[in-house]
A and B are shown apart, each in its own frame.
Chain A
Amino acid sequence: MGYTLNFAVVWANLPKLLGGLLLGLELAAASLALGTLIGLAGGFLSVGASRPGRALAATYVAVVRNTPILVIVLMLYFALPDLGVQLAKGPSFIAALSLYSGAYLTEVFRAGLVAVPPGLVEAGKAIGLTRFGVALHVVGPVMLRNVLPALGSTFISLFKDTSIAAAIAVPELTFQARRINVESFRVVEAWTAASALYIATCFLIAAALRGLERRFPKF
């Protein structure tokens, strides 16, 4: 008994799938912004002079990186309310993904910072920049160029991780595909469509990032 493909259900649900994709991109963008802030703070702390700062960054990375993303998502959505913090699904997921990606980005930025030649810091100090000025005008830009390739793969992972939001019924792409699956029993079509959309989107993100890399030539 063969399974006959019928993509009609996919076409009929295309607006919902695309809406889910868009929501996923929004979740990723918000988490990316917050995660980058966390990662920058963590990265600078982990190479900084302050011992408590370094310990804080190291502990954060160790705890978060060793916890599965799904557990973090469920923890923030289901367990936090019992501790008095109630977040809606979307914000709760963004908080979880930011926290999660922030740990990876801390490591990415740390590696980028370690690769900045100390001589550049000294040259920045020598012209009279404050420590903050050196970080902003010298170390930051050089570090960002160093990490651009690694940043690209982190961003793509981050976008794919938005599929986890389906676990707390955020209506993004994976959630929509599962809904089609359940409602129509078109299992293969639903998941093929979802996969194709993920692949195409990641491909576009990667291409955009490569374009960005070309605009900032290697030193």
Chain B
Amino acid sequence: MPSAETSAPARPLLAIRGLRKSFGATEILKGVDLDVRQGEVVSIIGSSGSGKTTLLRCVNLLEEFQGGEVLLDGEPVGYREQAGRRLRLKDRDLARQRAQTGMVFQSFNLFPHLSAAGNVMLGLRKVKGMGKAEARAVAERWLARVGLAERADHAPSQLSGGQQQRVAIARALAMEPKLVLLDEITSALDPELVGEVLATVKALAGEGATLLLVTHEMRFARDVSNTVVFMEKGLVAERGPPGDLFGNPRHPRLIEFLRGTRDH
């Protein structure tokens, strides 16, 4: 019985091709190739400085990149070609493309002057043009999904770190992005608050959200991902299903890295 996978290979939702990025003279990404299919959960692991976070930030156009391309649903992101020259898109087009991806940050970055609901509503109202009542209803629905229905009118400063991060997840997801980027979203949390955030992400993954995440939580990467990518010195050094990558690592640096993370 032919399945969708064995017939025509579906175009990946996100296709990163030969991505190069430098800060000044320092090359951080040295030609990264990576695909993320619709509904797939891809975790990027690797030691600090390997370029994981920079890769995510290039996908969401928070960083400019010098070479290669990022295609989201077939559309080149951030740049256009004109007469053989590579031009950065205008602010309005960048904003439109960014609205198609959601991003959750390590440091939550909630808008401090808005309530939990206000944080979720801002994009709905000002980017999607929703009316106030509709945006409020959507925000309440998403806050309920991350278990914070009762906190809708709390200011960020009145919420714990874990709650803030769940609001940030609701804020990203409420925009119904094609792809959600999660950048070390538990690194700034007290250990006892990590679980609630990871459980939220796991639930989203179970519901078919397409996630590309950078994490230091190896057990989480193993549990939640379809694919794990190991980055080393600005390149993808190894990729595969979590069972293979964690169970039978081949790249010497990955073996070393996994030994290091098991120590603590």
Contact = CB atoms under 8 A, between A and B. Distances in A.
Interface of A: 117, 119-120, 122-131, 133, 137-138, 141-142, 145, 216-217, 219
Contact of A128 (B110, B123, B157): B123
Given A122-B62, A122-B109, A142-B113, 11 more contacts: A119-B107, A123-B105, A125-B94, A125-B95, A127-B127, A128-B98, A129-B127, A137-B122, A138-B122, A219-B112, A219-B113
B155 interface: yes
A38 B107 CA distance: 34
Interface size class of B (residues with CB under 8 A): 20 to 34
A128 B155 contact: no
B123 A129 contact: yes
Interface in B106-134: 107, 109-113, 122-123, 126-127
A219 B127 contact: no
Identify whether the interface residues of A are mostly helix, strand, loop, or mixed.
helix
B103 interface: yes
B161 interface: no
Nearest 4 CB-CB pairs, A to B?
A: A128-B99, A127-B123, A219-B112, A123-B109
B224 interface: no
Nearest to A131: B91
A16 B250 CA distance: 91
A106 B205 CA distance: 47
13 contacts: A123-B110, A124-B122, A125-B61, A125-B62, A127-B98, A127-B122, A127-B127, A128-B175, A129-B122, A130-B91, A130-B92, A131-B95, A142-B111
B112 A119 contact: no
Contacts of B96: 128
Nearest to B157: A219
B102 interface: yes
B123 to A, nearest CB: 3
Nearest to B107: A119
Most buried by A among B94, B102, B122, B175: B122
Contacts of B101: 126
Given A127-B127, A129-B123, A120 B98 contact: no
Given A123-B111, A142-B111, A145-B113, A128 B105 contact: no
A138 B109 CA distance: 11
Interface string B57-92: 000111000000000000000000000000000011
A127 B62 contact: no
Contacts of A126: 60, 62, 98, 101-103, 105, 172
Contacts of A127: 98-99, 102, 122-123, 127, 171-172, 175
